[in-house]
Amino acid sequence: MRRLLFLLPLVILVVGVQVLTDWTDTRYYLTQLTMAAYYSLLIIGLCALMGYTGQISLGHAGFFAIGGYLSAALTTRNLAFFQDQAFFRLLEGAGILATGQDIYGAELVVVAPWAACLVAIIAAALIAWLLGIPVLKLKGHYLAMATLGFGIIIYRIALASEYFGEADGISEVPPFLLPFGLEVSGSFAVREANYYIAWGLLIMGLILLRNLIDSRVGRALRSIHGSEDAAGAMGVDTARCKLQVFVLSAVFAAVAGVFLTHYNGGIGPSEAGVMKSVRYVAIVAVGGMAHLWGALVMGVVLNFLSLRGVFGSYDDAVFGLILIGIMLFAPNGVLSLLNFSGVLDFFRRRRRRVKEPGGLR
Amino acid sequence: MALLAVSNLGKQFGGLQAVSEVSFSVERGMIKAVIGPNGAGKTTLFNLITGSLTPSSGSVLLDGRDITGHRPHQIASFGIARTFQNIKLFPGMTVLENVMIGRHIRSSGGFIASMLHLPWVLAEEQRIRQAALERLEMLGIAELAELEATSLAFGQQRAVELARALAMEPDLLLLDEPAAGLNIYETAEVGRLISSIRQLGITVLLVEHDMSLVMDISDEIVVLSFGRKIAEDVPEAIQSNEEVIKVYLGE
């Protein structure tokens, strides 16, 4: 239990913020904080893959979208046409089906959210596994390009397929009922509960990843980042380890996608966009790459600001700028800037370069 | 039976025959050296034995078991450890963590169990840490345990790499130029260290350029030139071997 004490400040902060919004009557902030928590869940998963194992992915918005879209489609698309078929009765018998209503009040037969959620997450894991086997043989920018290709494919499928609602995406996604009378939905009545569901999930994810990093497997992952040759010579099955952490990070992304989709009541193709993947990579970089806390803090702060509309129409441009800035001034993350030595070094070097000709005279 | 038996091993890179029909064996408990001029194929030979490269022909037997063409991590788990000519420590990790990775094949905590920090995983973690600390103490570098490995002096980094390999408790240890970049005092220290490794029951095969070290500690020497074995004998005989002298000094 003592190992979990590190979470205490975070838990206090999470509860504190909720209480504060209650006192100051600014409960509307909770909506963006809930969404930011889900995005951050994806980001800490990506951090384990990128920061610790050294494998970049520019396709994680794709896994998020696979989770979100599958869960959305399964819980909204009417299965009533298949009433007479054997598989329908099988699903019905297993209690996997639920009834719903479309926007015109007509009766729908759809997959129950819990089952849709499971299918979506398993599908994302399976796709990550199948994709990972060939592409994780690649290194560096070749891996970046291959995963980028995957992201583009998912984006185009979301945009082109009628089943996934084309450019409109999928709306009217029903709430996701959890045990203890909780539900994942955007209705005002359950705003506080949803804030705690999202943050609970994020903190749980953080605990799991911290445990992983701080273990035999975590050391193996970090050794792959350092030198794949040496890791192999130590007996680390590098291909298997990379695949496992890739699938794990895809599952984190898919879980985030499923929950956020039910919370928002819908999902659109922009969630699958390449710019989203770039944003996630930028946030992991800002957080300091091999730094779960940094990724979490930056994930929440930057997504919150973005969702509040602080960056306006320049949203994606801001994240591009952040990426450039981070690479130039603080390749070890923004937290390392707290002593400002990186920035000072940069300018000192510039000044020296300017002075040099004078020195020669 | 020999611990390691290399027979007719060959490796071709395009038109270049880097290693050609090399055969030799290493008996258990022996210190054997591979020498030869630059480009003779010594490191390639190591890479073929450890699975970093796949042989074009020939076979490698470890304790009678054919390990030819297996992947590096499998060969490591069969009992072969190695160090690298250009030291390959893991950056961003402490000396202790580096050596703890040496225990990877001697422990079993998997992905899910590690994420959940199951009690037996935590107990195993303690044993891993203990075993790593013992190796550091053995090499007299325990006080460096918490420092970042890649920030150390060159000689100390070599010692860490050796500790990491020893943590694997291998049957056979391959050392690729363990004295490269070291001064004469450090080289003598490495010589004593290798001899003491033998006392642990670990067989050693090394590539080395420092002739006094090689002649001092080896039981047998294999000489390579242009990918071929030109001699294999005890140190005294190698020193007076006509062909070896020709290769090293020119005609």
- Tell me the pLDDT tens digit for each residue of B80-139: 999 999 999 999 999 999 999 999 999 999 999 999 999 999 999 999 999 999 999 999
Residues of A in contact with B103 (CB under 8 A): 216
E runs forming strands in A31-185: 97-101, 107-111, 170-171, 176-177, 183-184
Q: Do B76 and A209 touch (CB under 8 A)?
A: no
Residues of A in contact with B70 (CB under 8 A): none
Does the residue A8 lie in any domain? no
Does the residue A285 lie in any domain? no
Q: What is the mean pLDDT of residues A77-95?
A: 79
Residue in B closest to A218 by C-alpha? B114
Asked whether the CA dihedral B52, B57, B61, B67 is positive or negative, the reply is positive
Does the residue A39 lie in any domain? yes
- Tell me the pLDDT tens digit for each residue of B185-236: 989 999 999 999 999 999 999 999 888 999 999 999 999 999 999 999 999 9
Asked whether the CA dihedral B134, B140, B141, B145 is positive or negative, the reply is positive
Q: Are strands B80-82 and A266-267 parallel, antiparallel or unpaired?
A: unpaired
Residues of A in contact with B128 (CB under 8 A): 216
Q: Which domain holds residue A223?
A: 31-280+306-314
| Residue A352 pLDDT > 60 | no
Q: How far apart are CA B84 and CA B173, in angstroms?
A: 11
Measuring CA to CA, which residue among B7, B11, B26, B66 is closest to residue B222? B26
Identify any residues that bridge with B224 across adjacent strands, giving them in sequence order: B229
Q: Do B52 and A220 touch (CB under 8 A)?
A: no
Identify any residues that bridge with B22 across adjacent strands, giving them in sequence order: B9
| Residue A199 pLDDT > 90 | yes
Work out how many CB contacts closer than 8 A connect A with B. 101
Least confident of A179-188, B14-23, B61-70, B73-82: A179-188
Q: What is the mean pLDDT of residues A85-105?
A: 76
Instruction: Return the pLDDT at A139.
Output: 92
Facing residue for A234 by CB, picked from B51, B71, B76: B76
List the single best residue of A234, A252, A289 to mutate versus B (max B Cβ within 10 A).
Answer: A234
Q: Do A235 and B73 touch (CB under 8 A)?
A: yes
* pLDDT level of residue A345 (50, 70, 90 thresholds): low
Facing residue for B114 by CB, picked from A218, A225, A237: A218
E runs forming strands in chain B: 4-13, 16-26, 31-35, 57-62, 65-66, 80-82, 172-176, 203-207, 220-225, 228-233
Structural domains of chain A, count: 1
Q: What is the rounded average pLDDT for all residues in chain A?
A: 88
| Residue A230 pLDDT > 90 | yes
- Indicate the domain borders of chain B: 1-79+170-251, 89-169
| Residue A335 pLDDT > 80 | no
Q: Do B90 and A222 touch (CB under 8 A)?
A: yes
Residue with tokens 């050392």: B175
* pLDDT level of residue A359 (50, 70, 90 thresholds): very low
> What is the Cα Rg of chain B in Å?
19
Instruction: Return the pLDDT at B144.
Output: 95
Long-range contacts of B38-41 (CB under 8 A, 24+ apart): B39/B226, B40/B224, B40/B225, B40/B226, B40/B227, B41/B11, B41/B224, B41/B226, B41/B227
| Residue A343 pLDDT > 60 | no
The percentage of chain A sitting over the pLDDT mark of 90, rounded to a whole number, equals: 63
Least confident of A6-10, A16-20, A242-246, B7-11: A6-10
* pLDDT level of residue A236 (50, 70, 90 thresholds): very high
Q: Comparing A63 with A5, which gets the higher pLDDT? A: A63
Instruction: Please give, rounded to a whole number of angstroms, the shortest distance from the CA of A244 to a CA of chain B.
Output: 8
| Residue A354 pLDDT > 50 | no
**Euclidean distance between the first and the last CA atom of chain B, given in angstroms as a whole number:** 39
Assign domain B1-79+170-251 to a CATH class. Answer: alpha beta
| Residue A58 pLDDT > 90 | yes
CA distances in angstroms from A80 to A5, A116, B59, listed in the order given: 51, 17, 64
Contact criterion met (CB below 8 Å) for A268 and A172: no
Contact criterion met (CB below 8 Å) for A52 and A218: yes
* pLDDT level of residue A16 (50, 70, 90 thresholds): very high
| Number of C-beta neighbours around residue A356 at 10 A | 9
Least confident of A11-20, A347-356, B2-11, B95-104: A347-356
Q: Do B72 and A229 touch (CB under 8 A)?
A: yes
| Amino acid at site A352 | R
Residues of B in contact with A218 (CB under 8 A): 114
E runs forming strands in B29-125: 31-35, 57-62, 65-66, 80-82
Does the residue A7 lie in any domain? no
Does the residue A124 lie in any domain? yes
Residue in A closest to B90 by C-alpha? A226
- Tell me the pLDDT tens digit for each residue of A149-172: 999 999 999 999 989 988 999 988
Residue in A closest to B165 by C-alpha? A234
Q: How far apart are CA A72 and CA A66, in angstroms?
A: 10
Instruction: Return the pLDDT at A342.
Output: 52
| Residue A7 pLDDT > 60 | yes
Does the residue A287 lie in any domain? no
Q: What is the mean pLDDT of residues B48-71?
A: 95
Facing residue for B72 by CB, picked from A211, A225, A232: A232
Identify any residues that bridge with B26 across adjacent strands, giving them in sequence order: B4
Residues of B in contact with A229 (CB under 8 A): 52, 72, 84, 88
Instruction: Return the pLDDT at A298.
Output: 92
Does the residue A216 lie in any domain? yes
Facing residue for B102 by CB, picked from A3, A208, A234: A234
Q: What is the mean pLDDT of residues A291-297?
A: 91
Q: Which three-class secondary structure state does DSSP give residue B39?
A: coil
* pLDDT level of residue A327 (50, 70, 90 thresholds): confident
Q: How far apart are CA B103 and CA B101, in angstroms?
A: 5
Q: What is the rounded average pLDDT for all residues in chain B?
A: 93
Q: How far apart are CA A250 and CA A61, in angstroms?
A: 9
Q: How far apart are CA B27 and CA B24, in angstroms?
A: 10
Q: Which three-class secondary structure state does DSSP give residue B229?
A: strand
Q: Which two tokens stand for residue B86?
A: 């250009």
| Residue A348 pLDDT > 60 | no
**Euclidean distance between the first and the last CA atom of chain A, given in angstroms as a whole number:** 67
Facing residue for A211 by CB, picked from B88, B116, B124: B116
| Residue A336 pLDDT > 60 | yes
